[in-house]
Amino acid sequence: MRKKVIAGNWKMNKDLHQSQKLVSDIINGLGKDTKADVIVCPPFTSLYEVSSLLKGTQIKLGAQNMYYEESGAYTGEVSTDMLKSVGCEYVILGHSERRVIFNEPDELINKKIKVALAKGLKPIFCIGELLEQRENGETMQVVSRQVEKGLEGVSSEQMKNVIIAYEPVWAIGTGKTATPQQAQEVHSFIRELVAKKFSASVAENLIIQYGGSVKPENSNVLLSQKDIDGALVGGACLKADSFLGIIASA
Ligand code: 13P
């Protein structure tokens, strides 16, 4: 049985003070018998402080991006060692906002994934189609390409540390959620792809999260689908109550 993994992607929200408040409210509200794994991904500027507040709790820390070089003249970038030094265990890579707004191609995402894994950070690797691609019937083709290119050169052993997040771009921040059937269809397709590329057991153990307008009102039915193993939450993770509601439904 795969464990449910609920991650909150805070995106470019919450200054230091607001981050302290949000993470304290999440810690205080989280029941002792929470079965799901919980990850929070605040902005870079809050990582260190949030990490200190998370000490002794079951909540894990993730970053929202990184660069693949170790150090040097890369103004504005952050390395894996820097993230690890402030307590990160996870890093979100390939998010559609990075792909679309910051023009990150599959090849760059692949380099980042390989370096993250080599350095001991666990990637939350995001994939998903644009609205136009869904309407043109290209969803499976897009997702296949992203999986193929993003995970090129990754070993079956390393796949134990990868989470895939399927986030249809048209469902992100729009209030439109994929129906549980639409999401399940793509999740099961992704698991088959991974089985073919790696092995049946890698696929069976892989956590595949759904992301795109997940909220407490829809998380239960999404998370009860066979191949949906968790959620990557944007807007609804910015309020402790709604994030805790999603965790409770897992
Ligand atoms: P929303 O939950 O705001 O739609 O964002 C989803 C997302 O992009 C998480 O990475």
Provide the CATH number for the domain around residue 144. Answer: 3.20.20.70
pLDDT at 175: 84
pTM for this entry: 0.98
How far is the centre of ligand 1, averaged over its atoms, from the C-alpha of 178 (Å)? 12
Assign 105 to helix, strand or coil. Answer: coil
State the total domains in the chain.
1
Report which secondary-structure segment, H or E, holds 158: none
- The token duo for 16 is 């230091």
* Cα angle 31, 37, 43; round to 5: 100
- The token duo for 218 is 């829809």
- The token duo for 124 is 């939350």
How far apart, in Å, are the Cα atoms of 77 and each of 71, 125, 149, 172, 176?
9, 19, 23, 25, 33
Name which of 118, 116, 54 is nearest 83 in CA terms.
116
- In this structure, the strands spanning 60-63 and 122-127 are unpaired
- The token duo for 41 is 């991904």
CB-based contacts of 73, cutoff 8 Å, min separation 6: none
Q: Which residue has the tokens 């057991």?
A: 201
| pLDDT per residue as tens digits for the range 54-109 | 999 999 999 999 999 999 999 999 999 999 999 999 999 999 999 999 999 999 99
CA 33 – CA 52 distance, rounded (Å): 22
Could you say which residues of the chain have pLDDT below 50?
none
pLDDT at 31: 83
pLDDT at 32: 82
- The token duo for 234 is 């944007």
Closest ligand 1 atom to Cα of 11? 10
Annotated active-site residue in 157, 167, 192, 217:
167
Give the domain extent around 223: 5-249
pLDDT at 36: 96
What long-range pairs does 193-199 form, CB within 8 A, spacing at least 24? Answer: 193/143, 193/144, 193/147, 193/148, 194/147, 194/159, 194/164, 197/147, 197/148, 197/151, 198/156, 198/159, 199/156
Closest ligand 1 atom to Cα of 236? 2
How far is the centre of ligand 1, averaged over its atoms, from the C-alpha of 184 (Å)? 18
* Cα angle 102, 84, 53; round to 5: 100
Q: What is the widest separation between alpha-carbon atoms in the chain? A: 48
How far is the centre of ligand 1, averaged over its atoms, from the C-alpha of 9 (Å)? 7
**CB 10, CB 240: distance < 8 Å:** no
Find the length of the chain.
250
pLDDT at 1: 80
Residue nearest to atom 1 of ligand 1 (CA): 234
First-to-final CA distance of the chain: 13
Question: Is 95 a residue of the active site?
Answer: yes
